[in-house]
Amino acid sequence: MAQRILLVNKFYYNRGGDCVVTLNTEALLRSCGHEVAVFSMQYPENIESEWSRYFASEVDFNGGLKAKITAMRRTMGMGDVKKAFCRILDDFKPDVVHLHNIHSYISPVVARLAKQRGCRVVWTMHDYKLLCPSYACLRNGSPCELCFTGKLNVLTKRCMKGSLPASAIAWVEALKWNHKRLERDVDAFICPSQFMAQKMEQGGFNPAKLHVLCNFVDPVKMQSFKSLPVDEREPYYCYVGRLSQEKGIATLLEVAQSLPFALKVAGGGPLEQELRDKYSGVNHIEFMGRLNATQVSHLLSHATCSVVPSEWYENNPLSVIESLCAGTPVVGAEIGGIPELIDPHNGVTFEWGNPTELKQVIDEAFHRQWNYHEIQQQAIKDFSDDYYYNKLINIYKQ
């Protein structure tokens, strides 16, 4: 008999990677015959769902004083979230509750409520929130692990947006939802990378509860990659992602201006205008702005290679996975989960933040003879929905 599964994520639309994974998982489970319900926070951009009437009310951390107090209560699991979640638990009666990104806007209290009703509770890690109260393991632009052993650092270093009040909230939230409490209520933590699993263990989590399962590419997008010509390559390389400091885009552009190859940059973010202005006179650097899925597929499938120059602990970057599914080799930084996805057959790696080495490996990638078909076929196997589903169901059933 197929299991009844309740998926939980703080937003229910294509807002970010966590939302994409949640929506893809919902579609996959339904296609495999499971009854699936979703729980989220009410939000104007949410996709319509038969389960929307159960969603917790919207909270706004940027509103007035009353709104801020309501939002802060939510982080502690107070307010209407418990009543709303108990309603869907009672009406849907799930066998498995699969949590995704739930901090702040939903709250980990839902894990306890699900456990109390005898559900198996599984939680996919999309960021480092359980280890770092400010999510990203970054301080002053560099990787930081101080909070792995002492959460007070988020307060003393003002890591949350440089704000003392915001950092204080993050600190109290971390104390409330400490790893011992979370381990009691969660049966399995899904880590999309071995790197994430290692960091979770380093932060005190029981390794027996940590399961490594790489994200998958949804069948529609996978089919689009398969339908595009693999060998029709053009003399350019590309970057697809957010234009922000931790993504290493500044380092890449510094290198790109002195290379003879064309670079196409797809994406937006806080550094976009600054970088456009700085490199406006460099003819072989093109800023393409935000692209839709079809445009990204076309860009990747015609590139000689893609570059993922991140300077933070990337977990399981979709930018690497999608590039490989397009048969496109990846020049990737040796940080976080990136090196796990790259081998001598599908790309090259370099020391993160090292422009000299980055320049060398981009040049190497341009002059190497790649087997684009082999890269794509292996990626299709590694990141297929079938592979993901079989491993996921085993985690659900353990």
Identify the pLDDT of residue 141: 83
pTM of the model as a whole: 0.92
Identify the pLDDT of residue 64: 86
Residue 275 vs residue 293, higher pLDDT: 275
The whole-chain average pLDDT of the chain stands at 94
pLDDT above 90 covers a percentage of the chain that reads 82
Identify the pLDDT of residue 46: 96
Across 16-63, the runs of DSSP E, i.e. the strands, are: 35-39
How far is 353 from 243, CA to CA, in rounded Å?
15
Nearest to 102 by CA among 119, 121, 117, 116: 121
> Pseudo-torsion of CA 44, 291, 268, 100, nearest 10°?
50
Summarised one tens digit per residue, pLDDT across range 207-250 is 999 999 999 998 888 998 999 889 899 999 999 999 999 999 99
Average pLDDT value for residue range 361-366: 96
How far is 315 from 214, CA to CA, in rounded Å?
10
- With tokens 């052993």, the residue in question is 149
Q: Measure CA 186 to chain center.
A: 20
Average pLDDT value for residue range 321-328: 96
Residues 6+ apart with CB under 8 A from 5: 29, 34, 35, 36, 37, 94, 95, 96, 97, 98, 396
> Out of 149-163, 272-286, 377-391, which region has the weakest mean confidence (pLDDT)?
149-163
What single-letter amino acid sits at 350? F
How far is 90 from 119, CA to CA, in rounded Å?
11
Has residue 44 got a pLDDT over 70?
yes
Confirm if 350 and 357 have CB atoms less than 8 A apart: yes
**Angle at alpha carbon of residue 213, lines to 207 and 214, rounded to 5°:** 135
Average pLDDT value for residue range 292-297: 91
pLDDT band at 42 (very low <50, low <70, confident <90, very high): very high
Which domains does the chain show, CATH number per domain?
4-130+177-216+384-397 (3.40.50.2000), 219-382 (3.40.50.2000)
> Pseudo-torsion of CA 286, 329, 136, 179, nearest 10°?
160
Confirm if 306 and 328 have CB atoms less than 8 A apart: yes
Summarised one tens digit per residue, pLDDT across range 100-150 is 999 989 999 999 999 999 999 999 999 999 999 988 899 888 899 999 988
Q: Which two tokens stand for residue 267?
A: 């994406």
Has residue 389 got a pLDDT over 90?
yes
> Out of 15-29, 33-47, 190-204, 326-340, which region has the weakest mean confidence (pLDDT)?
15-29
Beta bridge partners of 5: 36, 96
Beta bridge partners of 306: 238, 330
How far is 368 from 116, CA to CA, in rounded Å?
57
* Distance, first Cα to last Cα, the chain: 16
Q: Which two tokens stand for residue 98?
A: 């699969």
Identify the pLDDT of residue 61: 86
Q: What's the DSSP call for residue 1?
A: -
DSSP string over 79-114: TTHHHHHHHHHHHH--SEEEE-S-TTTT-THHHHHH
Average pLDDT value for residue range 175-183: 91
Has residue 1 got a pLDDT over 60?
no
- With tokens 């015609």, the residue in question is 302
